[in-house]
Structure 1
């Protein structure tokens, strides 16, 4: 039984299945943004996130062991040209060329739909998230419009078309501060949980996100696109893997804490999005949603 998404792979290069093979987005790109422990490459409209975080992988991410990351990092400056082939990423800089060989990398699936989580575990997760009082800690002001949108998201009304979801998408996308605004984090997590259980409303919400011109950051767009295709970050995946394995409440609590530690409020926003989705699912348990047997 798989206990961890990263089991026995800590020394390996890892690539999210969501961006594999990496040359399918194009052969040339540029360094988009650089941070202390990660950098992003933009190829066409797609971001590839490369980091040395051993416990975190985004749905569009590549993990490099720290020794390799530190070897590459001096060659990474914003705007540098990047050449991409099937098994190699080459960065062009004033200091020269530096390549990352990916031939032996482990491809990691972070698709929630592949997990089997029983209704009892989902109800237990809803209880544990409710006890966190997340709504008071998210990065959005609770104005009348936002509160009404949250009630719609958790309500029992079935929203079957992308038009039905347009109001929530327009209001939440880009709302909030930071590289991944709170409204985006809430929606991506919400979509992920609906997709996992096979709720047909997930397809309508995904269509609404696809149809809208998303007024948000490039990094946040990458997370939204990833969620549309069913992928989550590794910490959210680990939470639902623990639920599949019917781990103890203490283990689930620790997984929630790990998610909430992401960014300033991003992790809390993600957890709140999961809670809204769970409230909708559990209120409509008798309706047509899939739990694999």
Structure 2
């Protein structure tokens, strides 16, 4: 029995039938619908949270929020703000970034470009970094309370909070930076070496610029996690009622999550409205940081 083939190739009807058969894949369609449902659920919760917070704190979303200090008196709650918490957050997060970002990026460079993976101490270091990424934040708070605040003697200050938050997000920065460096094609390194560049020249002038999008994205997301942490700071003295802005690394402090935690415990409606307005402010800051990460990633991706 012989079969005949069309010398001109498949007809348009055959092509349409094949495309229809390929498009109709029940498992793939179900998986796609499940992903879309997860995205819709996440967006729905975010929109609901924003709507609730904006509606409840609408009357306090004005200059009073960042110009005035908090108060413990109900009679003055209508004019209270969260200025000390805003500046405390700025101090803590700025010092956290100054500590964890250079340390994390340099550690990632060492592990990816210089470390010998056959050495036991390098393997142990990688294992510990992976494990630390999953440690609950309250454990870091206990570590900071026992070691940094009491043994080292920094006390309940901005410096203690920044060091603890740096330890908390450092594994995330290292892992994100390593993945970004690992994603740089080996051909870039080989071409640099072929032109006579040293390892450091290759890393600093070729690898790092190409890895900036991933490093920036991971770093800002790590800082976004740090800015919303409250559990470790509860153990480090941030619960204290503060009516002044920090002026040094050894000053007492409070942060926006802690201030919101203190306000939400009060039964008066005025404090509840102020807490809702502070929540909106913190969400705006987090969304702004994530937008910066997306902008940096897109800008450097187009360049490279």
Give your verdict on TM over 0.5: no
Which structure has the highest strand share of the two? 1
TM-score, structure 1 as length reference: 0.25
Higher relative contact order (CA 8 A, sep 6+): 2
Which structure has the highest helix share of the two? 2
TM-score, structure 2 as length reference: 0.24
